Amino acid sequence: MRGVCVQATLQQGMFKLDVKAGFTAGGVTAILGGSGAGKSTLLRLIAGLEKAKRGQVVVNDEPWLDTAQKLFVPPQRRSVGFMFQDYALFDHMSVAANIAYGLKGPHKERERAVELWLACMQLDKLGARSPETLSGGQRQRVALARALATDPSVLLMDEPFSAIDGHLKSTLIDDLRDVVRDQQRTVLMVTHNVSEARAIADNIGVMAGGRLVRLGGADEVFDDPRAYEAALMIGWQNLLPVVWVSGNRLGGAWGALDLDRPASLDAAWIGIRPERIRIEAEPGTGLPSTVKAVREFGPIREIECVLGNGARLIVHKAWDAPVPAPGTRVGVVLPAEHVRPLVEGRSTLLADQMVAPCSTQKEALA
Amino acid sequence: MNADMAPFVLSIQLAAMTLAVLLVIGLPLAWWLAMTKSPYKPIIEAINALPLVLPPTVLGFYLLVFLGPQGWAGQMWTALFGQPLTFTFTGLVVASCIYSLPFVVQPLQGAFERLDRRTVEASLTLGASWPRTFLRVVLPQARHGLLTACVLGFAHTIGEFGVVLMVGGNIPGETQVLSIAIYEHVEALDYAAAGSMSMMLVVLSFLGLLPLYTKSRKRRRLLREVTA
């Protein structure tokens, strides 16, 4: 398989990383997750900076790690570009020397390559400067040029925008997206920021408790997170615990509802996006609830409803739509086609089936 | 050669040889101490620091016993090279290496511990080998520690007395280094010769230490830690 295939477990004290996933070639995959989810460890495992207890890492059909065969390719022999969170620039060298560091070949060729990268990253005239004297955005571009100059099979980026101020960030995200798209790079980017991931990624992966609980196209993941942890990570607020499942019907202390398909017995939660919920003035329709608060957020209005058992639902309506006053009793309708059953990603084996399998793994290693 | 210059030249030779050997041993040892999570680290660190606190005569006594013709190290050396270690220049170098080890290892270890490890990892992911990473990324960042280690290792060897006297004795041209020659002149009540040699040692040590205390704050901090 072209791209990055990881099937590995790694133990670091109390923390265990257990990931099985295939990341397709030629696109940006953002790995989302809270702190301690194992995002950075996954990147470091792919780069060879951490050693797995058991497993395999295969990149573009080339095995980099296979513990069964005692194969471990050291980081210096892996074709990988790694952009560190704080960039890890060599401050004792010039910007040009930083970019040239990983380049091989005759001096003239290296010099020309550095000039091209300086121009490409809008760093002309800064080649002789020390990286210490550059701004955050410029340092980031030096780090990106240095990582890409060796033409790596995969570019790994650990929180590349965490040191950048808000107003600069969107420009830099656009620049980065253009560079990696133009060159059709395979990129894995770790972030805890959902809007960054949304802005740059073709695919989204979500990690929780050392496991990859969801991986898929960005739109697909935002529409159907499938795992409870993934829903939390991408900011879903409307999550109701499921206690029982019977055919198409599922329910909990908050009430019950019918889906348009048989519900999985593993469904532990249901989730729904706030703009998908309908509010009926008649409390007999849908789930009976009380409007607790109405808040204005620019073009949208947020209505907070409280169900009979005290569970909270957030509903979004356009600013000019009619909204009920706080204290009103209403019926909240969760349309079946928009309700998403969610499994507990970190505890169920189902999660492994929800990420792309490494189908040609065995052939690649044979 | 002027009789007064022989101890001076011998001291410089001894310090230079000792420093060269100590850098070869000290760089990997300091790197290991800075990076390891081994439970044996405190033990190795404590052994390394022993010469800082032991009286030179105690250290010299043990070295004399181990390196002497009856000691296992001395016997092994004699079997290998056909000559004894004690009361020879080579014996002095071995003893000085042990005596000055912490003065070289500690500043290097401190510098390696302060190193931004991500830069080492960045170098590796950029395809650089370990030796290249060490030369181009580690050493330039640890240059203040390296300079401190060189100056302290050299100056400390020049200034040692007790260990040298115990292991090397006082053989002119072979083991009579500057500090011992001064002692001998004082015993012979030749204060003029002792005075000029002492002045040589003061000037030499001062010139060696001066660059450490100029400009660099980093070096000064390393120095304070070592001499504390």
Three-state SS for chain A is CCEEEEEEEEEECCEEEEEEEEEECCCEEEEECCCCCCHHHHHHHHHCCCCCCEEEEEECCEEEEEHHHCEECCHHHCCEEEECCCCCCCCCCCHHHHHHCCCCCCHHHHHHHHHHHHHHCCCCCCCCCCHHHCCHHHHHHHHHHHHHHCCCCEEEEECCCCCCCHHHHHHHHHHHHHHHHHCCCCEEEEECCHHHHHHHCCEEEEEECCEEEEEEEHHHHHHCCCEHHHHHHCCCCCEEECCEEECCEEEECCEEEECCCCCCCCCCEEECCHHHCEEECCCCCCEEEEEEEEEEECCEEEEEEEECCCCEEEEEEECCCCCCCCCCEEEEECCHHHCEEEECCCCCCHHHHCCCCCCCHHHHHC
Find chain B residues with C-beta within 8 A of A88's C-beta: 116, 118-119, 121-122
- Where is average pLDDT lowest: A158-167, B172-181, B200-209? A158-167
Mention every residue, 6+ apart, whose C-beta is less than 8 A from residue B174.
B10, B87, B88, B89, B168
Phi, psi of B49 (to 5 degrees): -85, -10
Integer Cα distance of A58 and A360 in angstroms:
10
The structure tokens listed for A328 are 């009103």
Residue A362 confidence (pLDDT): 44
Question: Do A102 and B126 meet the contact criterion of CB atoms below 8 Å apart?
Answer: yes
Distance from CA of A198 to the nearest CA of B (A): 27
What percentage of chain A exceeds 90 in pLDDT? 53
Question: Do A204 and A221 meet the contact criterion of CB atoms below 8 Å apart?
Answer: yes
- The pLDDT of A62-67, averaged and rounded, is 93
Output the CA angle B101-B38-B36, nearest 5 degrees: 65
Decide the pairing of beta strands A80-83 and A249-252.
unpaired
Q: Give the torsion sign (CA, B187, B188, B189, B193).
A: negative
Are residues B125 and A101, on separate chains, in Cβ contact within 8 Å?
no
pLDDT over 60 (residue A366): no
Q: Tell me which of A49, A104, A130 to substitute to probe the interface with B (most B C-beta atoms closer than 10 Å).
A: A49
Find chain B residues with C-beta within 8 A of A77's C-beta: 127
For residue A249, count other CB atoms closer than 10 A to its CB: 13
Distance from CA of A41 to the nearest CA of B (A): 14
Candidate from B116, B119, B126 with C-beta closest to A102: B126
Tell me: the pLDDT tens digits for A214-243? 888 999 999 999 999 999 999 999 999 999
Integer Cα distance of A158 and A147 in angstroms:
12
Candidate from A89, A93, A102 with C-beta closest to B127: A102
Are residues B122 and A104, on separate chains, in Cβ contact within 8 Å?
no
Closest CA to A213 of A350, A339, A30, A338: A350
Are residues B122 and A90, on separate chains, in Cβ contact within 8 Å?
yes
pTM: 0.83
Are residues A101 and B126, on separate chains, in Cβ contact within 8 Å?
yes
Closest CA to B122 of A17, A156, A52: A156
Predicted confidence band at B93 (pLDDT cuts at 50, 70, 90)? very high
Integer Cα distance of B220 and B212 in angstroms:
7
Question: Do A130 and A91 meet the contact criterion of CB atoms below 8 Å apart?
Answer: yes
Residues of A with CB under 8 A from a CB of B: 47-49, 74-78, 80-82, 84, 86, 88-90, 92-93, 101-102, 104, 146-147, 150
Question: Do A257 and A251 meet the contact criterion of CB atoms below 8 Å apart?
Answer: yes
Distance from CA of B26 to the nearest CA of A (A): 23
Q: At what angle do helices B217-227 and B143-159 cross, to 10 degrees?
A: 40
For residue B175, count other CB atoms closer than 10 A to its CB: 22
Tell me: the pLDDT tens digits for B18-76? 999 999 999 999 999 999 999 999 999 999 999 999 998 898 899 889 988 888 888 89
Candidate from A47, A90, A150 with C-beta closest to B137: A90
In chain A, the N- to C-terminal Cα span, in Å, equals 13
Residue A361 confidence (pLDDT): 42
Residue A353 confidence (pLDDT): 47
Integer Cα distance of A136 and A174 in angstroms:
16
Q: Tell me which of A46, A51, A76 to substitute to probe the interface with B (most B C-beta atoms closer than 10 Å).
A: A76
Residue of A nearest to B130 (CA): A76
Are residues B127 and A84, on separate chains, in Cβ contact within 8 Å?
no
Find chain B residues with C-beta within 8 A of A146's C-beta: 122, 126
Q: Which residues of A169-188 are buried (b: 16+ CB within 10 A; e: fewer)?
A: beebbebbbebbeeeebbbb
Mention every residue, 6+ apart, whose C-beta is less than 8 A from residue B19.
B104, B150, B153, B154, B157
Are residues A76 and B141, on separate chains, in Cβ contact within 8 Å?
no
Integer Cα distance of B71 and B77 in angstroms:
10
Which 99-138 residues of chain B touch chain A by CB within 8 A? 116, 118-119, 121-130, 136-137
Q: Tell me which of B114, B118, B120, B125 to substitute to probe the interface with A (most A C-beta atoms closer than 10 Å).
A: B125
Are residues B124 and A92, on separate chains, in Cβ contact within 8 Å?
no
Residue B225 confidence (pLDDT): 64
- The pLDDT of B206-219, averaged and rounded, is 74
Output the CA angle A95-A100-A103, nearest 5 degrees: 160
- Where is average pLDDT lowest: A100-109, A297-306, A348-357? A348-357
Closest CA to A117 of A90, A132, A97, A91: A97
Residue B213 confidence (pLDDT): 79
Candidate from A80, A88, A147 with C-beta closest to B119: A88
Integer Cα distance of B139 and B122 in angstroms:
15
Residue B219 confidence (pLDDT): 62
pLDDT over 50 (residue A354): no
